């Protein structure tokens, strides 16, 4: 009876160790991006997708000297146009991209010149 109990304990121990090993290997994958800054890839450049008549994410944060690349994923053309004139993509056709490097810290609010609801998107540039 005691041998039987030891056998069961051993099986449970193996199951627990195997499970622990599996869950540990799962944590080797790269850290998920912060939800408040999903467009920023690993503290470097950021990407913004223009989709369903919206900028996604609406706000990206980058360090001065880094770039933002916009990609138009809609069938309609769009622009990424700074409210203050700091940058302007011009008309972006489907799948077209526009990259702009930001050298000066600040908050850049931008819009799409074609669609009046596509406003108040932001690039936040920090030192
Ligand atoms: Cu637009």
- 59: which strand partners? 122
Whether the CB-CB separation of 79 and 99 falls below 8 Å is answered with no
User: Which two three-digit tokens encode residue 24?
Assistant: 């540990």
- d(Cα 72, Cα 94) in Å, to the nearest integer? 5
Domain layout of the chain by residue ranges: 46-126
Per-residue pLDDT of 77-104, as tens digits, reads: 999 999 999 999 999 999 999 999 999 9
The domain 46-126 having CATH identifier 2.60.40.420: the answer here is: yes
The vertex-85 CA angle with 120 and 111, nearest 5°, equals 25
Per-residue pLDDT of 9-52, as tens digits, reads: 433 343 333 444 444 444 444 444 444 555 665 679 999 999 99
Q: Ligand 1 centroid vs 102 CA: distance in angstroms?
A: 22
pLDDT of residue 41: 59
- d(Cα 46, Cα 62) in Å, to the nearest integer? 7
- Short-list 78, 115, 116, 112, CA closest to 95: 78
Q: Ligand 1 centroid vs 49 CA: distance in angstroms?
A: 12
pLDDT of residue 112: 98
Q: Ligand 1 centroid vs 116 CA: distance in angstroms?
A: 8
Contacts of 80 (CB under 8 A, 6+ apart): 48, 50, 55, 70, 87, 88, 89, 92, 98, 100, 110, 112, 121
Q: Are strands 121-126 and 59-63 parallel, antiparallel or unpaired?
A: parallel
* Nearby residues for ligand 1 (ion, Cβ within 5 Å): 78, 112, 114-115, 118
pLDDT of residue 31: 46
């Amino acid at each position: 009876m005691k041998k039987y109990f030891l056998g069961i304990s051993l099986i449970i121990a193996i199951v627990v160790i195997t499970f622990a090993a599996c869950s540990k290997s799962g944590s080797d994958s790269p850290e998920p991006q912060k939800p408040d800054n999903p467009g920023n890839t690993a503290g470097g450049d950021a990407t913004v997708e223009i989709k369903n008549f919206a900028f996604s994410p609406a706000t990206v944060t980058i360090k001065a000297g880094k770039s933002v690349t916009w990609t138009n994923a809609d069938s309609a053309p769009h622009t990424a146009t700074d409210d203050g004139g700091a940058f302007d993509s011009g008309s972006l056709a489907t799948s077209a991209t526009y990259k702009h490097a930001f050298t000066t810290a600040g908050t850049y609010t931008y819009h799409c010149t074609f669609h009046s609801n596509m406003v108040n998107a932001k690039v936040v540039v920090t030192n």
